[in-house]
Structure 1
Amino acid sequence: MPQPTNSSDGDEPRSIGVGARPKDVVQSLERGIIVLTAFDAEHPSLTLTEAASRCGLPRSATRRFLVTLVELGYVTATGRRFALTPQVLELGYANVSNFTLADVCQPHLNSLVRSLRSSASVTVLADSDVRYVCRASVAGAMSISIKVGSRIPAHLTAGGRVLLAALPEPDLAAHLSSASPPPTGGATPDPRGDRLLRELATVRNQGWALADQLLDVGVRALAVPIRTRSGRTIGALSASVVESQEPSRAFVARCLPRLLETAGAISLELRNGIELQHT
């Protein structure tokens, strides 16, 4: 919370901030925001005296700000105590609700690529496929040619398997029943067979999926779920390499901790009640 730097016993607001300030700064607006941010998890309600002390403002000025915020509907007054109302959520919702999943994930992907030196992507389920909503690649490194918006059968990708494993059983059955069977005699598992169901059960239990040369020869990918704060899986974060000499076990050991860390950071940015668009 911003803190004023000087004290005053009078009714005149004090100087806020350090150093020279632009002459066009609206000090009353700044102080009103300081009063709003005085409330937090440890201080869900405040008396006038407590609010003035936390803000470093005179009681009379703090009272005027609180009365104004009550009138606007952002603060409620019960007896001698003040508290924020849910209406304060509207201050950020109008902007945050327009964010796409790609907006949230892309900066994390860019950082992940620099760290792992492998391609990274975020996918979501689209019928029996996964759709790529954002990607990042290592400059100059070999990678598969997949663009944002591309769709691939979910069971052929690590991200798709993470997403399928998170589905309730009736939804999973519906997804797999609509998938096309593999070519006769191929090594690709039948999406409607018991083998894939057993593999998805393993993914569900361990919390990650490895797809080793399922999509194409030489392509290896590792994926973890992206969850909202309520625990709902809304996407999958994956790292992939092409024609790597690194053994699968070493690839998992190297990439899994960083993938889990990044997925956790993305989840922290997702807010309950805000439906992010996938495109």
Structure 2
Amino acid sequence: MNGRYDSAVKNKPAYGIGSVDHALHLATLLLHEGPLRVTDAAARLGVARSTAHRLLAMLVYRDFAEQDEDRRYVAGPVLRGAPAPEPVADLRRIALPHLEALAARTDESVNLMTVVGDRARFVASVESAQILRVGDREGRMLPAHLASGGRAVLASRPESDVIELYSGPDSPVADVAVLLRDLRRVRKQGFAVNDQATETGVTAIGQAVRCPEGMVPAAVSIAMPTVRYRRDRLAAWTRDLATAVARIERDVADGSVLQNNGAL
């Protein structure tokens, strides 16, 4: 709807440099999720502790990271100059077991994303075990009005907020009235479907996570190769998705995700 996402698809390069990818991933984690110990970094990257230590040392050398008084690695001067990100480490920690269960139940890849402004950012991915699958999207950003989770979050907002967000001269939405009609449909059915709007051959189903006030808006999506998407399975997929979202909401409501005087 409202045209395809025209930016190049950001799949991992066939001949990517692993060390560069790992270093950039660590920089992203420091920016968006906060302090890391060497053991944390090694676990997130799936590398040896010594490798994680060398990568972090290089980030320190280039001012992307530094160590605090507890010997944890934190964002350095270069990253601190970037716009303040939404903190999501606790949300990711709470959601991950439910994402893993959803991926196991559906045998498809699943994602957790946050939505800030008109952008949806993937903060966690659990890949399907199938050979033909949608790969890890962690760290990627997509237009919120096209991504399934982004549209689900937009549908939960007052229409006046959506109009304000997309009515500027540089708006990526050509027809806000069409977007509003789509969001009403999403609101009524409780989920959104992205059928190749952001990537040819990929279809996703997203549902918003109802967040406490002060928490960054979030959503969960199931992503699959379009060749496996079948409308007669949509009801089952959305039931599984709703179950996972409800469990995340339950755990968030317990209060363990809230910190810093009530802010995420």
TM over 0.5: yes
If asked which structure has higher relative contact order (CA below 8 Å, sep 6+), I would say 2
Deviations for 1:151-210, whole angstroms, at most 9, x for unmatched residues?
11011111010011111233212322369656xxxxxxx354321110001111221111
For residues 98 and 146 of structure 1, what CA distance do their matches in structure 2 show? 18
Counting only pairs closer than 5 Å after superposition, residues 186-197 of structure 1 correspond to structure 2 as 190=173, 192-197=175-180
Counting only pairs closer than 5 Å after superposition, residues 107-118 of structure 1 correspond to structure 2 as 107-118=97-108
Q: Given the alignment of the two structures, is residue 258 of structure 1 paired with residue 240 of structure 2, yes or no? A: yes
- State TM-score, norm by structure 1: 0.55
Deviations for 1:83-135, whole angstroms, at most 9, x for unmatched residues?
xxxxxxxxxxxxxx996110011111111111101110111112211011111
Deviations for 1:207-254, whole angstroms, at most 9, x for unmatched residues?
111111211222111111211478x8831111011132442x223122
Indicate which of 133, 136, 145 corresponds to 1:155: 145
Q: Give the direction of change, closer, same or farther, for the CA distance of 1:145–1:270 in structure 2 (3 Å limit).
A: same
- Which position in structure 1 is the counterpart of 2:220? 237
For residues 222 and 127 of structure 2, what CA distance do their matches in structure 1 show? 10
Task: Choose 202-211 or 258-267, whichever is displaced more.
Answer: 202-211
For residues 109 and 150 of structure 1, what CA distance do their matches in structure 2 show? 17
Letter paired with 2:190: G
Deviations for 1:29-81, whole angstroms, at most 9, x for unmatched residues?
xxxxxxxxxxxxxxxxxxxxxxxxxxxxxxxxxxxxxxxxxxxxxxxxxxxxx
Indicate which of 157, 165, 178 corresponds to 1:167: 157
Q: Given the alignment of the two structures, is residue 271 of structure 1 paired with residue 261 of structure 2, yes or no? A: no
Indicate which of 68, 91, 94 corresponds to 1:104: 94
Q: Given the alignment of the two structures, is residue 120 of structure 1 paired with residue 110 of structure 2, yes or no? A: yes
Indicate which of 152, 177, 180 corresponds to 2:167: 177
- Identical columns (%): 26
Q: Give the direction of change, closer, same or farther, for the CA distance of 1:191–1:233 in structure 2 (3 Å limit).
A: farther
- 5+ residue gaps, structure 1, are 1-96, 183-189
- Which position in structure 2 is the counterpart of 1:16? none
Please say if residues 112 and 122 of structure 2, whose CA atoms lie closer than 8 Å, have aligned partners that are also in contact: yes
- 5+ residue gaps, structure 2, are 1-86
What is the number of residues matched between the two proteins?
Answer: 174
Please identify the structure whose Cα radius of gyration is greater: 1
- State TM-score, norm by structure 2: 0.58
Please say if residues 102 and 133 of structure 1, whose CA atoms lie closer than 8 Å, have aligned partners that are also in contact: yes
Letter paired with 2:101: S
For residues 151 and 206 of structure 2, what CA distance do their matches in structure 1 show? 8
> After the TM superposition, which segments of 4 or more aligned residues of structure 1 sit over 6 Å from their partners?
276-279
Q: Give the direction of change, closer, same or farther, for the CA distance of 1:259–1:123 in structure 2 (3 Å limit).
A: same
For residues 214 and 239 of structure 1, what CA distance do their matches in structure 2 show? 15
Deviation at 1:266, TM superposition (A): 0.6
Q: Give the direction of change, closer, same or farther, for the CA distance of 1:258–1:145 in structure 2 (3 Å limit).
A: closer
